Structure 1
Amino acid sequence: MKEQFTRIIEEIGEDPKRPGLKDTPKRAAKAMKYLTRGYNQTVEDIVENAVFPFDGSEMVLVKDIELHSLCEHHLLPFIGYSHVAYIPNGKIIGISKLARIVDIFARRLQIQERLTIQIAEALQKTIDATGVGVVIEAKHTCMMMRGAQKQNSTMRTLAMLGTFRRNQAIRNEFLSLLRQ
């Protein structure tokens, strides 16, 4: 990867040997590996033993989970927040694991629409929740820095599974909690 970044620097007309760029290919390769580390992680590895028995059936919601991902079309970042909710069905999951599930999928080349669904489906599969709701709000630098160049646009995507899809009252409760 380091050699490929050297070539990219040369292709844009820069000298990869000049002092400010000398170590850039190595740093860029290291950064890319970090930003895409989700390919080397699984939900099962992250969750480990953090699923616990639980008798309740009220909604669990974690708001404002920061996320950073790379747009698969331009390799530019999109940055925002994920809001993840579920209705337990005999099991709950440690809240830090919700953030880690978000990261597993965000740390891959992505589109926001798929990312939202992957998070919801992974949580559903992991704890067999009665329902799962995921909303992601993000700003895409590919839209801000090139193309349309719209600085203040935010993309929102939703994935609703189980009772979040079937029961309008639960869906409305979830969406109203996001506004608080």
Structure 2
Amino acid sequence: MHSVTGLMFSEYLLSGQIPSVKKVNDEEPLLPALLLVNVNPTHKGGSRILSAEAKYAAALIDRRLQLGSKLSEVVTNKEDALALIDLFKDEGYMLAERKGKFCVILKESSSPQDMLKSVFHVNYLYWLERNAVLERRTIAEDCKPGGRLRVSLDYMRREFNYVQQDGQVLGWVTDGLIARPLPTRIRVGCAGLP
């Protein structure tokens, strides 16, 4: 994934087009990393020049994003593995932070839509890192209510469809992310995992 994958959400959210999340946070979030989507050429709104803030945030996220990480490289104990599997049981991916990286673990059934969701999720996790007082703890603790992974997953689930619909209205194709993730995918329920 390259910095090209970064900017749709940031510009979209900076433009004020997204529904307010003031119920969750005191400020609107900055979700900066998704540009590898196609612009619909029939959209009459014209293109905007991307802000320096969005470009900078997208570049930072791009350097930290690992789409297709191995679960064994992300977790170091059974408690963390079970917490991630439980939290993301209804998603086509899992997400955790490890050594400064946003590690997206793709499930065997992961679709382009799941990859798009994961990048949206990473953007909000980045925003929390920059703007919220939620400290990063262990993976298991971050999966609990009030933890960074739980809060950011709840936000993604609540807001993703709105952002996707509004993005389509603005001329973005948001059916999924076309990316070449690392070749690793996991099948939950095998290799000793529940």
Shorter-normalised TM range: under 0.3
TM-score, length-scaled by structure 1: 0.26
TM-score, length-scaled by structure 2: 0.25
Question: Structure with the greater relative contact order (CA < 8 A, sep ≥ 6): 1 or 2?
Answer: 2
Structure showing greater Rg = 1
